[in-house]
Amino acid sequence: MKNRANIVMITALSVLAVLAASNFYVYAPDIGQPGGPVSGLSVLQLKKFYQCKEVFKQTFSVNEGLGPLYNADSCYSCHGLPGIPGNQGVNPKTDCLTYVASPIESIAKGVNTETISYKDSDFHVYEGGPIVMTKSVTNEFPNQFPRGCNMPAGTTPKDSVFVSSRLAPSLWGMGLIDAIEEENIEDLELKQTDDNLSTAGSTVSHRDRITHQDRVGRFGYKGQYTSLIDAIADQMNTTLGITTKYERAIKTTDVNYNIPTCLRSHLPEEPNDNGALLAKLTYFIALSSPAPVGKIDAATNRGRSTFEKLGCAECHVPALSTAPEYYLLDPDSQFPTKRYLRIQALENREVKAYSDLLLHNMGAALADGIATTGGVSGGQFRTAPLWGLRYRKYYLHDGRTNDLAKAILAHGGQGQSSSTKFAALPEQEKLDLLAFLKSL
């Protein structure tokens, strides 16, 4: 009888142990590492993080909303292979999006790639632009559709004048950037205007897809996204073809989707996502940790001083800080009912992104001719954050080089004075500066 009681006792204890494991413990070996969570999250938050990370890696099917035109079947396929979710694209040929535009006819002669504006641009919408969708569900999954029902994949319009390839950027630390107060970015703009008008950056304002309020753009190569969730809603649509209730269902209404009638009845209902997918992707990316700073030694310390001396730090501002309160959509909300969660781990934190998040004119060599609403011209780019630089293989918006010195020398326009000074440095000082950049 005693033995039996012991067995019952042991069983009860092990049940308790398992319960304890699921409620108070989670295996999280990669806290603070690339692809892992930021530090300071609760066990429950960590669990949600790892669940949402799987969604980021997931391959989507037509039934889940993929297509009808799309560029890839998972977020991970552009942002993060091989191995580390959220990493920058590793192949400038495949891990990218292609933007196309041309000057409108009346200004076609004598157009300037750097100064061209939105109103002077034709984005080839009737031919599938401004973002080329290179895959079609009927080509990729012919067995799922009636024979003869074809939707041609997008191609770069032959007569497009500006064709800009953009490499998938690193997504680590994005929640920290999202948590910066808007006033801080506007203050930087004012300060730069006071300090040095010739290199001063500017903000751009856009309507946020989720809140429908005008906000300062802070994500995307041209500051075209105002918040992380805004960026992700658009990325779901323009890369995978998945529509959300937060963005108009462009698949059926937009001119660039001439969906054949035979195909419509074989596609899932729109919007494809009621918010659950968007919330999960946002949760994972928001809580992804920035890469930890690498080895610091005498050379990287000298390089840091040179970075400041050359004026790099005026645009690549070493640190900003986050708001005292920050909330994320709960990925486990019962959509369409939403619940928000406070994320203390992202509050009052230093953001060592090395960017002012402002737009700068970068000169003819970098200009891509793609203008946006809000007055962003073909030559303007948001200062690239430099954190995690040592994990990147290719640099600049189009991934045109894997040589860090060449990336610096490509700075023209408002970055010209810095790059000229860099070119004139004694060899050792150049090496120190590069060593500093590779410690980020």
Interface residues with ligand HEC (CB under 6 A) are 71-72, 75, 77-79, 95-97, 166-169, 171, 174, 199, 219-221, 225, 228, 231-232, 235-236, 239-240, 281, 285, 307, 310-312, 314-316, 360, 362, 366, 381, 383-384, 386, 392, 395-397, 404, 407-408, 411, 414-415, 418-419, 422, 437
Cβ proximity to ligand HEC, 149 vs 401, nearer residue: 401
Place of tokens 């080509």: 139
Closest contact distance (angstroms) between CB of 329 and ligand HEC is 14
Residue 203 vs 239, nearer CB to ligand HEC: 239
To ligand HEC, the closest distance from the beta carbon of 288 in angstroms equals: 10
Between the alpha carbon of residue 99 and those of residues 84, 123, 244, 393, 394, the distances in Å are 26, 9, 22, 22, 19
Nearer of residues 166 and 352 to ligand HEC, judged by Cβ: 166
Please, what is the minimum distance in Å from the beta carbon of residue 17 to ligand HEC?
Answer: 37
Q: CA-to-CA distance for 172 and 35, rounded, in angstroms? A: 7
- CA nearest to 47, candidates 287, 278, 232: 287
- Comparing CA positions, the residue from 136, 168, 352, 366 lying closest to residue 241 is 136
Least distance to ligand HEC from the beta carbon of 282, Å?
8
Are 414 and 430 a contacting pair, CB within 8 Å?
A: no
Minimum CB distance to ligand HEC, residue 185 (Å): 14
CB contact at 8 A, 133 and 69: yes
Q: CB nearer to ligand HEC: give 79 or 349.
A: 79
Residue with tokens 């191609």: 155
CA dihedral 171, 304, 192, 212 (to 10 degrees): 10
- Considering beta carbons, is residue 103 or 169 the nearer one to ligand HEC? 169
Classify 254 as helix, strand or coil: coil
**Smallest gap from residue 274 Cβ to ligand HEC (A):** 15
Long-range contacts (CB closer than 8 Å, 24 or more residues apart) made by 30-34: 31/289, 32/289, 32/292, 33/289, 33/291, 33/292, 34/84, 34/86, 34/87, 34/172, 34/289, 34/291, 34/388, 34/391
- The nearer residue to ligand HEC, 21 or 54, going by C-beta atoms, is 54
Q: Could you tell me the two tokens for 292?
A: 């930890």
Q: Which is nearer to ligand HEC, 264 or 406 (CB)?
A: 406
The least distance separating ligand HEC from the CB of residue 202, rounded to whole angstroms, comes to 11
SS3 359: strand
Residue placing its CB nearer to ligand HEC in the complex, 119 or 393: 393
- Dihedral sign, Cα of residue 188, residue 79, residue 129, residue 64: negative
Q: Which residues pair with 351 in a beta bridge?
A: 320
For tokens 């998040």, the residue is 357
CB of 421 to ligand HEC, least distance (A): 7
One-letter amino acid at 271 equals: P
Q: Residue 205 forms beta bridges with which residues?
A: 216
